[in-house]
Amino acid sequence: MTVKKEVLFEGKAKRVSATDDPELLWVEYLDQATALNGKRKETIAGKGTLNLQISALLFQEITAAGVPTHYVDTPDQGSMIVRKAKMLPLEVVLRNYASGHFETKFHVKHLLSFKPAIHEYYYKSDALDDPFINNDQIQALGIADAATLAKVRALTDQVNDFLTARFAKAGIKLVDFKLEFGTLADGSLVLADELSPDNFRLVDDATGDSLDKDVFRKHAGELQPVYREVLRRLQASK
């Protein structure tokens, strides 16, 4: 059994600790919601365990579907054991439909469909406020080489195919999402971070209602019942 050791890092919604195994980390999902790159912060009781359960369910299924991930185990209702990875400082955003920043930037119709889906990259830097960055800029800054970027793109498409079909089974449209990747000690690329409604835009097929963090971002109601509904539907459509 893996034993939790000292806290290494606390982010906006997760706390990462060392374990008795140097290859493994212990990640606790916190009851915190942030918006505006952390400038707005609130505690939402129960959010951490809901996100953990959604994330664990999706990581287990996506790993079984052949996507390499950092996921190892779920030791309790609020924690995940993951393999230690050197994270690429990139947020990889994939858009199947227009929403959020794309919609406001280009003034296009809400939920305009994109086929093929749009891939975007943002450079993870609090000091720079996570700016948009393109392929050439990523390579010029030495963040990732062309081969790594090609793998990131292929894995993101694979994740999108899987998640789009998986959410469709639960009566949910996958509008867009953000992924993060890292490399393991052996140099292999894995999907890391989390897979939860904090990082997805989800729309109820029947009602068009938001089933994700937009509820918090737009002050449109309580987040916890919405996340609970996402988990319920994913479990019911296994």
Nearest approach, Cβ of residue 237 and ligand C5P (Å) = 21
Q: Compute the least distance from the CB of residue 177 to ligand C5P, in Å.
A: 5
Q: Does 101 bind ligand C5P (CB under 6 A)?
A: yes
Q: Which is nearer to ligand C5P, 7 or 132 (CB)?
A: 132
Nearest approach, Cβ of 89 to ligand C5P (angstroms)? 12
- The site that binds ligand C5P (CB under 6 A) totals a number of residues, namely 13
Helix (H, G, I), strand (E, B) or coil at 75: strand
Task: Please report whether residue 177 would count as binding ligand C5P according to CB under 6 A.
Answer: yes
- Residue 171 beta carbon to ligand C5P: minimum distance, rounded to whole angstroms: 18
For the record, the structure tokens of 201 come out as 């835009």
* Distance between CA atoms of residues 105 and 90, nearest Å: 20
| Contact stretch for ligand C5P (CB under 6 A) within 15-23, 106-114, 164-172, 175-183 | 175-183
166 part of the interface to ligand C5P, by CB under 6 A: no
- State in angstroms the smallest separation of the CB of 118 from ligand C5P: 10
Residue with smaller CB distance to ligand C5P, 24 or 117: 117
What is the token pair recorded at 189? 């690329």
33 counts as binding ligand C5P under rule CB under 6 A: no
CA distance 108 to 202: 19
In whole angstroms, how far apart are CA 152 and each of 17, 115, 170? Answer: 26, 19, 27
Taking Cα atoms as reference points, which of 46, 1, 47 lies closest to residue 21? 1
What residue spans of 6-145 are helical by DSSP H? 47-64, 100-106, 135-140
Residue 14 contacts residue 47 (beta carbons within 8 Å) = no
Our finding on whether 47 is near ligand C5P (CB under 6 A) is no
Interface residue with ligand C5P, options 25, 90, 93, 203 (CB under 6 A): 93
Distance from C-alpha of 177 to C-alpha of 160, rounded to nearest angstrom: 9
Note whether 173 binds ligand C5P by CB under 6 A. Answer: no
Q: Which amino acid is at 42?
A: E
Tell me if 201 contacts ligand C5P by CB under 6 A. Answer: yes
* Identity of residue 10: E
Q: Segment near ligand C5P (CB under 6 A), from 66-74, 79-87, 173-181, 224-232? A: 173-181
Rg (CA), the chain: 17
Which residues contact ligand C5P by CB under 6 A? 91, 93, 100-102, 130, 176-178, 199-201, 213
